[in-house]
Structure 1
Amino acid sequence: MNSIGQRIRTCREMLKMTQEELAQKIRVGANTIEKYENGEQIPSTQTILKLSTVLDIPASELLGQEYTETPQ
């Protein structure tokens, strides 16, 4: 199971973005991104929304909630 930190790292790397670049875009320190990715700190709800926007991934997926559409 992937943690939120692993999902942040994967998305960031897919966008060829450094930790510093991501930190600047969401206005936190680069060491904070490192802590998120290493599982040492969990981002706040507000930060998750910022990460979602910058990384172009729904917040629910960033949190690890995968939804499947149910046929009607």
Structure 2
Amino acid sequence: MNTIGHTIKAARERRNLTKEELAQKLRVGTHTVEKYESGEQIPSNQTILKLSTVLDIPTSELLKKQNI
């Protein structure tokens, strides 16, 4: 199943960003990015908007198949 974590990771890799670089752009810790990508933690609505901007993908793509 395609989760928000898989979508974030795939988009980050397409943009050639490391987890550290993405964390810096989102102003969160690297561990938080790891939790997002593993599905252990769901980003807040505000963070989803930031992810959309930083990763240049629509929020609808991030939220696909999510129950949030």
Taking structure 2 as the reference length, the TM-score comes to: 0.92
Question: What residue is the counterpart of 2:14 in the other structure?
Answer: 14
Q: Which runs of 5+ in 2 are unaligned?
A: none
Greater share of helix residues, 1 or 2?
2
| Structural RMSD (CA) | 0.9
Higher relative contact order (CA 8 A, sep 6+): 2
Q: Where in structure 1 do 4 or more consecutive aligned residues deviate above 4 Å?
A: none
Question: What residue is the counterpart of 2:54 in the other structure?
Answer: 54
Instruction: Specify the code of the residue in structure 2 equivalent to 1:15.
Output: R
Deviation digits for residues 11-56 of structure 1 (CA, Å, limit 9, x no counterpart): 0000110000000001000000000000110000000000000000
